[in-house]
Amino acid sequence: MEAVRTDFTGYEGQYVAIDARTGRIVLANEDLLALLEEVKGHDHVSVRGRVPYADEPLYHFGLG
């Protein structure tokens, strides 16, 4: 398989919803709860999270 790329440019500071089939951002909003309302009825779309600004620290997950 090939990893799915997404161009997050221009969406900094916003929560984004991505089409799972293409990797393309289809919805964005600075308010997560508003975005969750917007994605209702959009099949094949998932909410990824907030796109950081370039000067924000990068967080890495993992509890291990």
Site string for another protein, 10-49 (x = CB under 8 A): -x---xxxx-xx-x--------xx-xx--xx-xxxxxxxx
- The least distance separating another protein from the CB of residue 13, rounded to whole angstroms, comes to 11
Structure tokens at 28: 């964005």
Give yes or no for residue 55 binding another protein (CB under 8 A).
no
| Cβ–Cβ < 8 Å for 33, 19 | no
Closest among 21, 1, 33, 26 to 11, alpha carbons compared? 26
Distance of alpha carbon 16 from alpha carbon 24, whole angstroms: 10
Residues that bind another protein in the complex, under the rule CB under 8 A: 1-6, 8, 11, 15-18, 20-21, 23, 32-33, 35-36, 39-40, 42-52, 58-64
